[in-house]
Structure 1
Amino acid sequence: MTAMETLFHLLPSRVGNPLSVSGMARDLQVSPVSVKNWLDLFERFYLTFSIAPWTAKVARAIVKERKVYLFDLPRIKDNGARFENMVALELWRAVTSWNDLGWGEFGLHFIKNKEKQEVDFLLSRDHEPFLLVEAKLAEREPSAPLKKFQQALHVPALQLVEDGDSYRLLSNGDQKIMVSPAWLWLAGLP
């Protein structure tokens, strides 16, 4: 097996976490440039897609590392990572559609700071955040980082869960967080 194949086989276990190119290069005993080129190649062939961190108005934000997600969900064995990947894929598809339709310049990001507080996804339009999204298998209460970053960025927030059949609207200071079954909310995307 080549180092490039090994990298591709390691990616399912890294879904949902920022990927350190230099760390992967060390593990594979190849140059960071090779790992970056291979990751770019995987994206060009629609094996993976990646999202960059959002850093504007986020104190001590992680700046460099991207998250990598797969187009082939069954390769991901961990249920939580597979659920997050499924949500990422649906959001990526929506953002791509909105951009293709000329509705603005949309982006898909994540937020993580050096205190390891993280929100899975931030959607932006014309370089401004407009929605925070957290993907959780079963947790019905919004995560503390989701609440914190919503207050800092003053944008709507959503926590998607795997099961359930109805929306819940919860207070977060002067804002609201919606908790929704993923199947119900994602069905409304283009």
Structure 2
Amino acid sequence: MKRYLDDRVQADLAKKMVFLTGPRQVGKTTLSRHLIAQQGGQYLNYDVPADRAIILHQRWNPLAPLLVLDEIHKMPDWKAWLKGVVDGKLATQQLLVTGSARMDTFRQSGESLAGRFFGLRLHPVSVREWCEQTGAEPDAALTHLLERGGFPEPCLAPDNEQAERWRRQYFDGLVRNDVLEFSRIQEVNAIRLFAELLRSRVGSPLSLASIGRDLAVSPVTLKKYLDILEALYIVFVVRPFHDNIARAVLQTPKVYFYDTGLVVGDDGLRFENLVATALHKHVQWQHDVQGQETGLHYIRTKDGAEVDFALSLQGQLTHLVECKLSDPKPHRALLRFAREQPQAQAVQVVRHLPHSHALGEIQITRADEYLKRLAA
């Protein structure tokens, strides 16, 4: 299946090296091989011993139109090494670097790569992408993604049984193998247990102190575990909006999974997670492709008023988004913040709704229509 970033990656490669990151099995290798099939090239994976030897000795074909290097962030001092590769390669050779862990989490010393690359993040399939690639109607696309999640393999699986088998193996493999890039083997079980607990706490303000008491682990250690799960693109964190960035970082975050299929809970919880993944993809497309300083947040006051999501541009609120399964009545907190923040578009996104309509400051919108209109 062609992905939404195929054309953008190809366009950016004509100008600079491209870093393509994202969750494991989200489609980075398929995208890379699709580009190689189109224009010719060579794919090398640092995890494969034979490929690793070629990478370390730089014995790839210097005339290959496209060189794809996967997982090289596992190499010591990879930034300095890669800078040498970029500066020494032929101008006609394009370079695509891919990885399933965030490259900015690796703090090896070395030369800066600033100005030498474009960074793009590949996300799971969204309602918009499924509609564009399969011709499905938005409501059918939303139903399918709520059932299967947005990762290509379960999304394209012939039945739910195959999708669930993939998911079990995927989650076990991530926690068992990839966590070791960041942590000691003795911590793997603790991180797995923490990840399992998070599956049922999606969308709620996350108290690491409370979870720490349950697991007999310090909040500082849990913060490290959360950073690992985020770095591996298992979860992403949504923080409360505040015009003081330092205060926003310190306040209680909410956590969502890249794979909606991993969420343990009712239909409302899975729906909120799917909307979160769609907004996260939308915001990062605007950041990576359009160069906009965008952000995804939520709003919560000391008196308990809360709106599920808020979008910002250059630190200013632009959108307020509340998720509901079937309730068309305007959410009280959404009404309040719509009046307090008149520059922000207020939308109540409803999964089961006969038709979209406006009620005062609030747009009551069918979820399938809203998600179809997002940027990616």
Question: Do the two structures share a fold, i.e. TM-score over 0.5?
Answer: yes
Task: Tell me if structure 2 keeps the 8 A contact 1:169–1:177.
Answer: yes
Alignment of 1:75-90 (within 5 A): 75-76=262-263, 77-90=265-278
Q: Deviations over 1:8-63 (max 9, x none)?
A: 00112111111011211111101111101111111111110011101349xxx9x6
1:41 matched to 2:235? The reply is no
Match of 2:219 in 1: 32
> Would you say how many aligned residue pairs link Structure 1 and Structure 2?
183
Shift of 1:129: 0.2
Question: What stretches of structure 2 of length at least 5 have no aligned partner?
Answer: 1-187
Higher relative contact order (CA 8 A, sep 6+): 1
Task: Tell me if structure 2 keeps the 8 A contact 1:165–1:184.
Answer: no
Task: Tell me if structure 1 keeps the 8 A contact 2:326–2:353.
Answer: no
Task: Tell me if structure 1 keeps the 8 A contact 2:328–2:353.
Answer: no
1:110 matched to 2:298? The reply is yes
Task: Tell me if structure 1 keeps the 8 A contact 2:320–2:345.
Answer: yes
The structure whose residues are more often strand, as a share, is: 1
Larger Rg: 2
1:141 matched to 2:141? The reply is no
Match of 2:345 in 1: 156
Match of 2:358 in 1: 169
Instruction: Give the 3-state SS of the residue equivalent to 2:352 in structure 1.
Output: coil
Letter in 2 for 1:70: F
Shift of 1:152: 1.1
Match of 1:184 in 2: 369
Instruction: Give the 3-state SS of the residue equivalent to 2:322 in structure 1.
Output: strand
Instruction: Give the 3-state SS of the residue equivalent to 2:369 in structure 1.
Output: helix
Counterpart CA distance in 2 for 1:138 and 1:75 is 23
Shift of 1:145: 0.3
Task: Tell me if structure 2 keeps the 8 A contact 1:134–1:159.
Answer: yes
Give the CA RMSD over aligned residues.
1.8
Identity %: 37
Counterpart CA distance in 2 for 1:163 and 1:117 is 24
Shift of 1:165: 4.7
Letter in 2 for 1:164: L
Letter in 1 for 2:339: Q
Task: Tell me if structure 2 keeps the 8 A contact 1:161–1:181.
Answer: yes
Match of 1:65 in 2: 252
Point out the more displaced range, 22-31 or 128-137.
Answer: 22-31
Match of 1:5 in 2: 192
Task: Tell me if structure 2 keeps the 8 A contact 1:20–1:65.
Answer: yes
The structure whose residues are more often helix, as a share, is: 2
Q: Which runs of 4+ in 1 moved over 2 A?
A: none
1:52 matched to 2:239? The reply is yes
